Structure 1
């Protein structure tokens, strides 16, 4: 069992993958699928539809844009430089997953459960992310989520040094959510983020966003 050091003195369990057990293969997502112990380099899964399970997979440079998946279970898997733009993942169970340098513009991601899920240096602008439950942590580090919609239970979600310009929050819970170090200019829905942590440098942007949300007008 391997752990990743996360921002804010946290740690999370990394995917449990033994490279010696992986076989070269394709990330074939059409129809019903059960993909296990694979190393995938490249491949085109643009616009496919399917449901099933992905376990112990290391996928690099796979094109999954516009794919419609769900319900889907993903366990102990690493995605590197994968294109998820305008894809839709429904009723997703995600456990010990890493998304590294992925492109996910316009991704519609419905997380029924997220357990130790980590995004790094990924682009999720205009994404719609809905979270029912987080176990452990869901961390986004150095990601862009400009104009994204982020909804649901945001407890224990960490946004570390992310660009949230113009993002909209629709939180049902936010206790333990950490926004420190992230850009909040033009964000909406901060009134739903009760219990989230900000740093002092974010106070001005947060105040302006809350005033707008409350329908107040500033005048001389």
Structure 2
């Protein structure tokens, strides 16, 4: 079992190079039986990538570039997504278990109703992404990700770790964030501070939050 630790989160990640595991190259992730297992798929330029009511189990997706991405009730278990460009993906409903998404672009993506358990987003570009009703059912970390103007709404991100992320104008809307670990990030431009009760920060980040609050409330600071 392979684990990686970020702050307070220890995540069990897939070990796709373990002895005895053989991944078969597949030309498509669409399967009439609704499941693809022990697979590798990649180095593909696609006009569209659409999957519905599908399970991807134990596999690697690498170097996939798709202009249009639509996922509906897509479940992943033991899967890596690496070096891909999924653009403004629309992903509605599904569960991700032991999943790593690394060096991947999800610019303007919409993630709605996903359940995350042992999930790592690493060095991903998630600018302008919208997370709605996303729930962390187990350890989850965003490590080295860019989340410029990303929005979280009605999410349960309790105990989720944000490590060395860009959180410029990132907005946390109504939701549950108790125990979320924001240590080691620049928090000076966060939005939605009123919803971040009982998160974890470093002592030096108090000034960041004060600056963010002044900006969010458009408070005028001066001697006049």
Q: Same fold (TM over 0.5)?
A: yes
Match of 1:124 among 118, 123, 126: 126
Are 1:156 and 2:159 counterparts?
A: yes
Task: Tell me which moved more, 107-116 or 127-136.
Answer: 127-136
Relative contact order (C-alpha < 8 Å, sep 6+): which is higher? 2
Are 1:145 and 2:144 counterparts?
A: no
8 A Cα contact 1:86 1:105, kept in partner? yes
Unaligned runs of 5+ in 1: none
Q: Specify the alignment match of 2:74 in structure 1.
A: 72
Q: Give runs of aligned pairs for residues 1-220 of structure 1, distance below 5 A.
A: 2-15=1-14, 17=16, 20-29=21-30, 33-51=34-52, 52-151=54-153, 152-214=155-217, 216-220=219-223
Deviations 1:125-162 (A, max 9, x none): 11112244212211011111011112311102110000
Measured in 1, the distance between the counterparts of 2:33 and 2:46 equals 14
1:175 Cα deviation from its structure 2 partner: 0.9
Unaligned runs of 5+ in 2: none
1:37 Cα deviation from its structure 2 partner: 1.1
Q: 1:27 to 1:192 in 2, by over 3 A?
A: farther
Number of residues of Structure 1 aligned to a counterpart in Structure 2:
219
Measured in 2, the distance between the counterparts of 1:144 and 1:68 equals 22
1:110 Cα deviation from its structure 2 partner: 2.0
- Give the TM-score normalised by the residue count of structure 1: 0.89
1:29 Cα deviation from its structure 2 partner: 4.4
RMSD: 2.2
